[in-house]
Amino acid sequence: MTTFEKIVRIADALRIPGHMLGLAARPWEVSAPPAPTSTTEDRNDMRRRHFLRASTGLAVSLPALHQPTTGTRLGRGEPEKLRRRTARLRRLDDVLGGGDTYRVYLGEYQATKALLRTASYTEDTGRALLSVLAEQAQQAGWAAFDAGREADAAGLYQDSYQAATEAGDTDLAGNALAFLAYQTVPGDRRTGVEIATRSCETIGPDAPAGVRALLHERKAWACAVAGLASQTESALESAEAALRDAGSAPQPDWVAWVDPTELQIMSGRCWTELRRPLRAVPVLENALARYDDSHARDKALYLSWLADAYLSGGEVEQAASVTSRALDLSHGVASVRPRHRLAPVLKRLGAHRGLPAVDDALAKAAG
Mean pLDDT of 328-357: 96
Q: Report d(CA 337, CA 335) in Å as an integer.
A: 6
Q: How far is CA 196 from CA 155, 173, 193, 256, 272, in A?
A: 17, 12, 5, 20, 19
Q: Report d(CA 273, CA 268) in Å as an integer.
A: 9
Rounded to two decimals, the pTM is 0.84
Amino acid at 120: S
Which residue(s) pair with 73 in the sheet?
120
Q: Which of 185, 288, 173 is nearest to 228 (CA)?
A: 185
Higher pLDDT, 147 or 1: 147
The answer to whether the beta carbons of residues 195 and 177 sit under 8 Å apart is: yes
Q: Report d(CA 54, CA 28) in Å as an integer.
A: 11
Task: State pLDDT tens for residues 42-59.
Answer: 555 545 444 444 444 454
The answer to whether the beta carbons of residues 99 and 82 sit under 8 Å apart is: no
Report pLDDT for 72.
84
State which H helix or E strand residue 103 sits in: helix 98-118
Give the orientation angle of helix 337-349 with respect to helix 316-330, to 10 degrees. Answer: 150
- Close Cβ partners of 41 (under 8 Å, ≥ 6 residues apart): 328
Find the DSSP H helices in 15-90. 40-54, 56-61, 78-90
Mean pLDDT of 123-132: 97
Task: State pLDDT tens for residues 141-195.
Answer: 999 999 999 999 999 999 999 999 999 999 999 999 999 999 999 999 999 999 9
Task: State pLDDT tens for residues 64-119.
Answer: 445 666 568 899 999 999 999 999 999 999 889 999 999 999 999 999 999 999 99
Report pLDDT for 205.
85
Report pLDDT for 367.
85
Give all domains of the chain, ordered by start, each with its CATH number: 1-32+39-66 (no CATH), 259-367 (1.25.40.10)
Q: Report d(CA 221, CA 152) in Å as an integer.
A: 22
Helix (H, G, I), strand (E, B) or coil at 234: helix
Amino acid at 119: A
